[in-house]
Amino acid sequence: MPDFYGMQALNAWLAGHDVGLFVQGPDPDSPEPLMHGIVVAQDPVPGTRVGRWATVTVWVRNEPGDPGGVREPLRPIPPTRALSAELPENSTD
């Protein structure tokens, strides 16, 4: 039995499949598939001998924050009219 602790849930599922294990969450009937979060526990524990296509239950912890994936910094907000201060007062071309 591999140790899935600390892996992304989807990577744990894929790694389990590659070695002939069925990895699932604690509620197999959940509408949310096992794809997001970090594995924090598993049953059976790592090192246990199991048969091919045995079921491994993993518990995941979702990372806090917006799952939308916004990566740009939102703080600090630039001061009002900050860019206009860089423009010349009276532009004569």
Residue 4 reports pLDDT greater than 90? yes
pLDDT, tens only, 53-65: 999 999 998 866 5
Taking only Cα atoms into account, the Rg of the chain, rounded to an integer number of angstroms, comes to: 24
CATH hierarchy code of domain 9-61:
3.30.10
Q: How much is the pLDDT for 89?
A: 62
Minimal CA–CA distance to 1: which of 85, 57, 40? 57
**Residue 47 vs residue 75, higher pLDDT:** 47
Listed in sequence order, the residues at least 6 apart from 32 whose beta carbon sits closer than 8 Å to its beta carbon are: 25
Distance CA 82, CA 67 (A): 31
